[in-house]
Copies of this chain bind each other. A is one copy, B any other.
Amino acid sequence: MTASDLISFARGAPSLDIIDVEGLKAAADAALTQDPGGALGYGTAIGYPPLRKLLAEQHGVAEEQVLVTNGSMQADAFLFDQLVTAGQPVVVERPTYDRTLLGLRERQADVRPVSLQTDGIDVEELAGLLEDGLRPTFAHIIPNFQNPAGYTLSLAKRKRLLELAEQYDFVIFEDDPYVKIRFAGQPLPTMLELDEGRGRVVYASSFSKTVAPGVRVGYIVGPAELVAKVRVRATNTYISPNMLAQAIVYRFCVDGGVDRSVATVNAALAERVETLCSALTKHLPEARFTAPEGGYFMWVELPDGVDVDVLLPAAEARGVTFVKGTDFLLDGGRSTLRLAYSGVRVDQIEEGVARLADAVRSLEG
């Protein structure tokens, strides 16, 4: 077994074959031809102004409500710096993105996980906690094709969350990097849209999944006052984010590259999910999962006796890897795993699942 033989269901990153390298070359050339001063000068902390304007138009908000950052995790970090107070409660989904948990714990938030169901966070569990006196600063929600679960928040729950936010005076942090990576079902309105400008929602997204991760371009949309505070923080941290990369992303957007790229990515991921589900049904019939309608991830529950701490090394010894479900939880999840299908080719998937099944069998002996 060499490293190159390893089939990785671990990393939430696209394989190179679904990135439009030639389109990005053309976008780089166009950006440097059409606006060399903008692409190569310092700029300011709001980001590349034409990209900010385009995003404001796409979301139907004022430009002052948008700030473009070096990837959306940097956006999260700035927002957490503004919104988190040590010791104050913050609601997260259970399970949720491991880096979100880390960022909140680094800032000493009182993290309150609420169960995630296949149609999104359990809003009645949340309502009960609120009735019992919980007063969170904000609720962090990944509405579409959640990381790690792959589940999507239903329209009814989106509306209910907004009602609760209004009633109990908290902010919804709508963390939405996967929204365009939908390959089945119908798109749903964002909570940002449903909020209709009442200022209850701070929205973050990214071009990592629609252009490429290496461009490191993310953004936030929120109340102008909050965005202005983040702007000051961003200025004092790095003067301005990457103007060159943002100018390239902007050209790629306006020249139709993002739409083409999304079509390519979604076709590829739909096929990968289908292959993955078939392979699991064949090799690991005891596995429980919900086929995602988009995004990069699928959550798999194995029978209670399987301990992922033991399974992972057994799997890696057989040339396949994944992320343990326990990484996305403060407690529990001993028999769960996250399978990322974004970085594996279709021809690797069945072999990867067969190796995983072999590892599961090895624990039963």
A residues adjacent to B (C-beta < 8 A): 11, 13, 16, 19, 21, 24-25, 28-29, 32-33, 36-43, 70-71, 73-74, 77, 99, 102-103, 106, 208, 212-216, 236-245, 247-248
- Contact status of A99 and B236, CB under 8 A, knowing A40-B21, A213-B42: yes
Q: Do B29 and A13 have beta carbons less than 8 Å apart?
A: no
A-B contact pairs, 28 of them (CB 8 A): A11-B42, A13-B42, A21-B36, A21-B40, A25-B33, A39-B214, A40-B212, A40-B215, A41-B212, A41-B213, A42-B208, A42-B213, A70-B241, A71-B239, A71-B240, A73-B238, A77-B236, A99-B236, A106-B236, A213-B240, A214-B240, A214-B243, A215-B242, A216-B240, A216-B242, A216-B243, A242-B242, A244-B245
Set B213, B239, B242, B247: member contacting A73, Cβ < 8 A = B239
Q: Measured between C-beta atoms, what is the minimum distance from A77 to chain B in Å?
A: 5
Partner of A70, one of B42, B77, B103, B238: B238
A121 CA to B86 CA in the complex, in Å?
Answer: 40
In the assembled complex, the CB of A26 is this many whole angstroms from the nearest CB of chain B, namely 10
Extra contacts, 14 of them, besides A16-B37, A216-B244, A242-B242 (Cβ < 8 A), are A21-B36, A28-B29, A38-B214, A40-B215, A42-B208, A73-B237, A74-B237, A102-B236, A214-B240, A214-B242, A215-B242, A216-B243, A244-B245, A245-B245
A210 → chain B closest CB, angstroms: 12
A215/B244 contact (C-beta < 8 A), A24-B32, A29-B25, A36-B19 known:
yes
Nearest-neighbor residue (CB-CB) of A29 within chain B: B25
Evaluate contact between B16 and A40: CB separation under 8 angstroms.
Answer: yes
6 smallest CB-CB distances across A and B, nearest first, come from A214-B243, A40-B212, A28-B28, A40-B214, A42-B213, A74-B238
CA distance A237 to B218 in the complex (A): 13
Closest to A248 in B: B244
Which residue from chain B places its CB closest to the CB of A13 in the assembled complex?
A: B42
Of chain B, the residue at the smallest CB distance from A233 is B106
CB of A201, distance to nearest CB on chain B (Å)? 23
**CB-CB < 8 A to A216: which residues of B?**
70, 238, 240-244
Contact residues in B for A19 (Cβ distance below 8 Å) = 36, 40
Q: Considering only CB atoms, which chain B residue lies closest to A243 in the complex?
A: B214
Tell me the bound Cα distance from A212 to B37 in angstroms: 10
CA distance A213 to B208 in the complex (A): 23
Chain B residues near A40: list those with CB within 8 A: 16, 19, 21, 24, 212-215
Residues of B within 8 A of A242 (CB): 70, 214-216, 242, 245
- The answer to whether A43 and B237 have CB atoms under 8 Å apart is no
Query: Separation in Å of the A327 CB from the closest CB of chain B?
Result: 15
- Residues of chain B with a CB closer than 8 A to A213's CB: 40-42, 240, 243
User: Which residue of B has the minimal Cβ distance to A28?
Assistant: B28
